[in-house]
Each structure stands twice: as structure tokens, then as C-alpha cells.
């Protein structure tokens, strides 16, 4: 069961660091209020702010619980497939635009759209399979080997 902790704002921690540095300067170094004590307080404030920034950078890398967002937990392969799908769909739109602008011949247009659509369908099938894409690949291999055996 996850415990919820109250988080202390970084500004409050930074001010506490400054106060601790000033208290140290007044108590142990016997400083009076003046520029050296102010600089010591600013140093304590800076030290706490740097530590807070470092914590914010390293905390996601060191986190072991399941509180990470779904997009981060998604397998890398699924994200790559989603990106590839977007690229292929954009390529289809560009080919159609080029054909409408009469930049490519009709035969080239048909061949390219057929190839891109086949690729898009393959990517969409893998995305629909989700994490089970390994069985989809095995099935595709069996189908291809069956076709080759039938030749």
C-alpha cells in the first residue's frame, strides 16, 4: 500500500537552508549581521536549491514503484510502431498530394500507395496485437513458409 507523503515546497526548504547557514554563521563563527553573513545565507539557499534540482533530475531515474505514467511504461516497441504508423500515413498523404498535383505518374502512384498501405496494415496489425506481437510474427512466418512450401 502506497503511503502519501506531504511534499514541502522547495522554496520553504531553500529558506530553511538560508536560515540554517545564517544561524551557523552567528553561532559558531560569531558573525554579526553584515555582508559576510548575507553571503553565507545566500550560499545556504543556493545549496538547497541545487540539491532540490538534482533530486528532481535523478528521482524519476531511481524510482522503483509503479507510479510512472502509462506512456513511460509502454514498451519501446509499441511506441516505435506508433511512430512508424504515423510516418507511413503521412507518406501516403504526400503521395496522394503529389499525384493530384501531377508530380508523379499514375503507375508510380498506384505502386507506391499499394506498398505504403500494405506496410501501414502490417504496422496496425502489430499494434493491435499489443505485447503479443511475437505470436503475430510467428503466425506471419508460418503463413509465408506455407506459401513457399505450396509453390
What are the tens digits of pLDDT across the range 65-98? 665 555 555 577 778 888 999 999 999 999 999 9
Report the C-alpha gap between 70 and 80 in whole angstroms.
15
Q: Say if residues 115 and 63 touch (Cβ distance below 8 Å).
A: no
The total of other beta-carbon atoms located within 10 Å of residue 22's CB is: 19
For the chain, the residue count is: 151
Comparing 31 with 118, the larger pLDDT belongs to 118
At 1, the pLDDT band (50, 70, 90 cuts) reads: very low
Comparing 7 with 45, the larger pLDDT belongs to 45
Read off the DSSP letter of residue 134.
H
Structural domain spans, the chain: 10-62, 74-150
pLDDT at 65: 65
The CA angle 59-11-15, to the nearest 5 degrees, is 120
- Tell me: pLDDT of 33 over 60: yes
* Alpha-helix runs per DSSP H in 1-151: 10-27, 35-62, 70-73, 76-100, 106-129, 133-150
Q: What percent of the chain has pLDDT over 90?
A: 29
The pTM of the full predicted model, rounded to 2 decimals, is 0.42
Read off the DSSP letter of residue 132.
G
pLDDT at 68: 52
Amino acid at each position: 500500500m502506497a503511503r502519501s507523503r506531504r511534499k514541502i515546497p522547495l522554496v520553504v526548504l531553500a529558506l530553511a537552508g538560508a536560515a540554517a547557514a545564517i544561524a551557523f554563521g552567528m553561532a559558531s563563527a560569531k558573525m554579526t549581521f553584515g555582508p559576510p553573513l548575507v553571503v553565507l545565507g545566500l550560499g545556504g539557499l543556493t545549496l538547497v536549491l541545487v540539491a532540490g534540482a538534482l533530486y528532481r533530475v535523478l528521482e524519476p531515474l531511481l524510482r522503483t514503484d509503479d507510479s510512472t505514467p502509462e506512456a513511460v511504461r509502454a514498451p519501446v516497441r509499441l511506441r516505435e510502431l506508433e511512430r512508424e504508423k504515423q510516418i507511413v500515413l503521412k507518406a501516403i498523404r504526400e503521395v496522394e498530394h503529389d499525384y493530384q498535383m501531377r508530380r508523379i505518374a499514375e503507375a508510380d502512384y498506384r505502386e507506391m500507395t499499394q506498398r505504403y498501405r500494405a506496410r501501414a496494415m502490417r504496422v496496425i496489425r502489430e499494434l493491435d496485437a499489443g505485447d503479443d506481437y511475437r505470436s503475430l510474427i510467428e503466425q506471419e512466418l508460418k503463413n509465408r513458409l506455407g506459401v513457399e512450401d505450396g509453390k
